[in-house]
Amino acid sequence: VPELPEVETLRRSLEPVLVGQTVDSVRVLRRDVVVAPGDPPGGASRQRAPFTPAPLTPELLLDRAAIERLERRGKQLALVAADGRSVIVHLGMTGALLHTHEPRPRRHPPHTHIVWRLAGGSALRFVDPRRFGLVRAAPDGHANLWRSLGPDALSLRATELRTRAARTRRAVKAALLDQSFVAGVGNIYADEALFAAGIHPARPADTLVREETNRLACAIRRVLRDAIARGGSTIRDYRDASGAPGSYQSRHQVYGRAGDPCRRCRTPLTGTRLAQRATVFCSVCQRST
């Protein structure tokens, strides 16, 4: 599942090939991965009852746009055009944006849902086998759509974390997974950061003292930066824009290691469920009070 480091790795790999390019044409092979203005916010694939999709013009997906920059907040990526239009990409479970120098293959690879042809002769494809990802058109820009997201985890400041933690009694891990609390901490990095900071995942967030929120903010930034430096974690299907897998998964201290010895104290790590997610921690190294 792509998390922040994978999306940031993707952003950095796409930036040099997309910025300054003009979109020559947009081809949508599957309308239901797109959310246009007027569509239900979760997109067509989340709807149980039949509904009529809103009109979708190529302009809504950056046709004829000059791509000015790629922005990321949490796990969302925005392609931003010079004229103010944006497209937000959510990779979901298995989504990928692939840059290719073969813009007109006889057949697109399986699960290709959108193809942007670029004036320079290359193309960008949105590919998503399981279709939990989506592409959201934001013709007036994406600032409004990102207003509900918390501060980006990669640049999270200790004071921001402290203020937010003091306002909720939820388990600190549940709070970290809430994208409106802080954007971009997924299950892997929540467990890794809490271990690095020596904080039990079930601690009510408002019981963290200043020293702990300082350590946690620092740990969150560090585990995310380390993962980015290694090209992200390839757990299942994640690839960067050129199709290369990441290598961070071999560095995990706790994630996926329930029952294995803690790398710090050798106590077998505890596996449990918290906030509906598999959670691994060390009952000795991570303080519950």
Catalytic-role residue among 3, 6, 8, 192: 3
287 binds Zn ion (CB under 5 A): no
- Nearest of 34, 51, 55, 52 to residue 43 by alpha carbon: 34
| Displacement of CA 280 from its chain's centroid (Å) | 21
Q: Is 285 in the site for Zn ion (CB under 5 A)?
A: yes
Asked if residue 19 binds Zn ion (CB under 5 A), the reply is: no
Interacting span for Zn ion (CB under 5 A) from 59-67, 69-77, 155-163, 281-289: 281-289
Strand-pairing partners, residue 124, are 99, 116
**CA 26 to CA 202: how far, in whole Å?**
46
Q: Name the phi and psi angles at 97, rounded to 5.
A: -110, 120
CA–CA dist 209, 184 (Å, integer): 23
Binding-site size for Zn ion (CB under 5 A) equals 7
- The catalytic position among 2, 73, 125, 257 is 2
Choice between 66 and 284, CB closer to Zn ion: 284
From the list 37-45, 121-129, 153-161, 256-264, the region that binds Zn ion by CB under 5 A is 256-264
Q: Is 282 in the site for Zn ion (CB under 5 A)?
A: yes
* Closest among 64, 72, 57 to 22, alpha carbons compared: 64
* DSSP 8-state symbol, 287: B
| Interacting span for Zn ion (CB under 5 A) from 63-71, 102-110, 170-178, 277-285 | 277-285
Select from 31, 47, 265, 287 the one that contacts Zn ion (CB under 5 A): 265
197 near Zn ion (CB under 5 A): no
Q: How far apart are CA 68 and CA 86, in angstroms?
A: 10
Q: Which residues bind Zn ion (CB under 5 A)?
A: 262, 264-265, 267, 282, 284-285
Active site residues: 2-3, 75, 277
